[in-house]
Amino acid sequence: MSVPREVTRHEDAIPQLADVNVPDELKTWIEQRMAMYPDPKSATIPCLMQAQKLHGWLSPDAVRQVAAVMRVTPAYLVSVASFYDMFELQERGRHTIYMCTNISCMLRGADAVMAELEAAVGVSDGDVSDDGIFLRRFECLGACDIAPMASVDGVYVGPLTVDDAKQLVEDLRAERDVLPAKHLTKRPVAATFWSGGAPAGSGAGEA
């Protein structure tokens, strides 16, 4: 056996497509993504994310599926996945709450909101509840204008009060839109927002 040039190309350790049952949709997605880069390996992170979306987490099966299509070893993919916070190498729930507890959110009471979330979900930081809600503290999510805030299944909501925390978990359990009035994407730029929602462009930039 020849010595492999790099671990990602260790042929013996790459699962064969014939042995792995890759969903067609995922296979097509990965192939299209790989074609977007001069070096197909660049597609690693997006492809892992797509597989995680499909499987709910990066299960060994999910990793093998990506490995078989990308022609890299599963070990390589796990080495990459373990570096990034958004990849889950252990099973998690149907819903994910990332609660920001970094400085700006901390200054506005994030720890109290987190404590309430833990009580409402019934788990502590980093755990999954029996009904499938995964809760974890997260570093700055880039929305300190609505601090304290959380990302719920990727949707940014804030500013959160302790009461909002209860409502948020209720909404999730009822499979409803979470705190619809507090979605970040509905918020105008600060100068407009704080002047009472006047039309965009009026008075902004003036002290």
Partner 1 sequence: MDELLFQDIDEPGLNTIEVYERRGGYETLKKALRELDGEQVLAELQASGVRGRGGAGFAMGTKAGFLPKGTMDKYLCCNADESEPGTFKDRELMQKNPHQLVEGIILASYAAGINKAFIYIRGEYDAQASILEAAVREAYEHGHLGENIHGSGFGVSLVVHRGAGAYICGEETALLDSLEGKRGNPRLKPPFPANAGLFQGPTLINNVETLSNVSHIVKHGGEWYAKIGTEKSTGTKLVSVSGCVQRPGNYEIELGIPAREIIFGLAGGPLPGREIKAWFPGGSSSPLLTPDEFDLPYDFDSIAGAGSMLGSGAIIVIDDSVSIVDVALRTASFYKHESCGKCTPCREGTNWTTKMLQRVADGDATPMDLDLIAGVQQQIMGNCLCVLGDAMAMPVSSMVNKFRDEFEAHLEAARASRTPLADAPAKLDLVGGLVPGVIA
Interacting residues toward partner 1 by CB under 8 A: 36-39, 41-46, 48-49, 79-81, 83-87, 98, 101-104, 106-108, 138-147, 151, 154-156, 184-185, 188-194, 199-201, 204-205, 207
Is the distance from CB of 156 to CB of 114 less than 8 angstroms? Answer: no
- Taking the least distance from each CB to partner 1, the nearer of 22 and 156 is 156
Q: Would you tell me how many other CB atoms lie within 10 Å of the CB of residue 150?
A: 31
- Taking the least distance from each CB to partner 1, the nearer of 63 and 143 is 143
Smallest gap from Cβ 163 to partner 1, in A, equals 19
Smallest gap from Cβ 203 to partner 1, in A, equals 11
Spatial CB neighbours of 124, under 8 Å, sequence gap ≥ 6:
118, 135
Smallest gap from Cβ 117 to partner 1, in A, equals 18
Spatial CB neighbours of 185, under 8 Å, sequence gap ≥ 6:
156
- Taking the least distance from each CB to partner 1, the nearer of 44 and 65 is 44
Token digits for 7?
């671990």
Is the distance from CB of 135 to CB of 151 less than 8 angstroms? Answer: no
Quick one: which of 85, 96, 88, 191 has its CA closest to 139? 85
- Taking the least distance from each CB to partner 1, the nearer of 64 and 137 is 137
Token digits for 23?
């969903």
Smallest gap from Cβ 155 to partner 1, in A, equals 7
How large is the C-alpha radius of gyration of the chain? 21
Q: Would you tell me how many other CB atoms lie within 10 Å of the CB of residue 32?
A: 10
- Taking the least distance from each CB to partner 1, the nearer of 66 and 169 is 66
Smallest gap from Cβ 173 to partner 1, in A, equals 22
Smallest gap from Cβ 152 to partner 1, in A, equals 11
Is the distance from CB of 52 to CB of 66 less than 8 angstroms? Answer: no
- Taking the least distance from each CB to partner 1, the nearer of 122 and 126 is 126
